[in-house]
Amino acid sequence: MERDATGAGGVIKLQIKFGGETIPISLSSDSTVSELKFLLQSSTNVLPRGQKLIHKGKILEDSKTLGSSEISNGSKIMLMASQGLHQADGPMLKGAPIVSNYQRIVSADRNPSRFVEQVSVDKSRAERWKITGVVALSECHLKVIPDEVWDCGSAARVLDLSNNHICDVPAKIGSLTHIQKMMLNANEISDDFISWEGLTYLKSLTYLSLSQNHLTALPSALGTLTTLRQLHIASNILKSLPCELGLLMHLEVLNISNNRISTIPACIGGCHSLIEVDLSSNLLVTLPETFGNLQNLKALHVRNNGLKSLPSTLFKKCLKLSTLDLHGTEITMDMLRLAEGWEEFDKRRRLKHQKQLDFRAGGSAEFDEGADRN
């Protein structure tokens, strides 16, 4: 039962005004302004450090409780966002995302093939696919995958369906048994219309891109794709990762930036071959200590998250790490300098930067991880 809002610790209901919308929030009056900002991150895309909360003309201080800030039940608070301190594609502003009529039909009927015309492919083009092994259908305004693709069967090595309007990846995908590289990014694929079971038949798959779709979850079947070397699932709506991710022992590049992930499972430490990991623009507050198991890791991108610290094992055990992007986090340079292994990491990053300058690849002589100086 909620306690009286006028007493210490009472639950109060607030109305946060942001971008023309009203966001309802309920929390204890003993909560700090900083804790309120953390709650608002998931519904606004604005990092806590980029939020300015104003009540009755006064800017609220992070360290003070709501009660001591004269915030009571029903109070209205204005949220202003600092430019650049947001995750994903920017702050959530007034108006829902644009959804095409085609998407609405699919959502209502659950059978997209009924509402689109079948696409035919020139016979000579289909024959060329079989000879070269490359099925190139990027930016063809497709709504369904043409039947001629399935006719390629084991001859197909590369499938590029990126930048279309495809929402259904059927079980037939498993017929492309020798496919090595598959690009399905920038389509309209959602959880219910991708056959992960079909993907499990692709025993030669090394590259998979599903970025810029509408996926909210990844199944345990992901762990069967043990030949994967690159996995790109950026800019979806993922909230978590399956523990089976740790079974991808040959994975070298993992990009899950611009999602809604709040926790990275400890199983990521099983991906011993990882060289580059991009976790930017999510809802992360901590990273598991098992990151220290990634001894081949060279680049870690965690910008635009709520991180306040790094795993104690990171600098100590990841002896190849030379690129670290901390822009938009709460980690300071003072904290980094105190971490065990920092000095050796610092030497590696400076050496890498110097090589970039020598080959005129660096933009300027200044470089940093994005950590605050104090």
Window from 75-89, 100-114, 324-338 with minimum mean pLDDT: 100-114
- pLDDT tens digits for 295-315? 999 999 999 999 999 999 999
Q: How confident is the model at residue 96 (pLDDT cuts 50, 70, 90)?
A: very low
Question: 328-338 pLDDT, tens per residue?
Answer: 999 999 999 99
- As a CATH number, domain 216-374 is 3.80.10.10
Please state, rounded to an integer, the average pLDDT across all residues of the chain: 85
What does the domain layout of the chain look like in residue ranges? 11-81, 216-374
Domain 11-81 and domain 216-374 have a common topology: no
pLDDT at residue 7 is higher than 60:
no
pLDDT, tens digit, for every residue of 162-206? 999 999 999 999 999 999 999 999 999 999 999 999 999 999 999
Q: What does 273-327 look like in DSSP terms, one character per residue?
A: T--EEE--SS--S---GGGGG-TT--EEE--SS------TTHHHH-TT--EEE-T
Check if the beta carbon of residue 277 is closer than 8 Å to that of residue 299.
yes
Q: Is 345 helix (H, G, I), strand (E, B) or coil?
A: helix
Q: What is the residue whose two structure tokens read 């690129």?
A: 323
Give the fold, CATH level 3, of 11-81. Answer: Ubiquitin-like (UB roll) (3.10.20)
Residue 101 reports pLDDT greater than 50: no
Residue 271: C-alpha distances to residues 161, 181, 263, 296, 310 (Å): 28, 20, 17, 10, 18
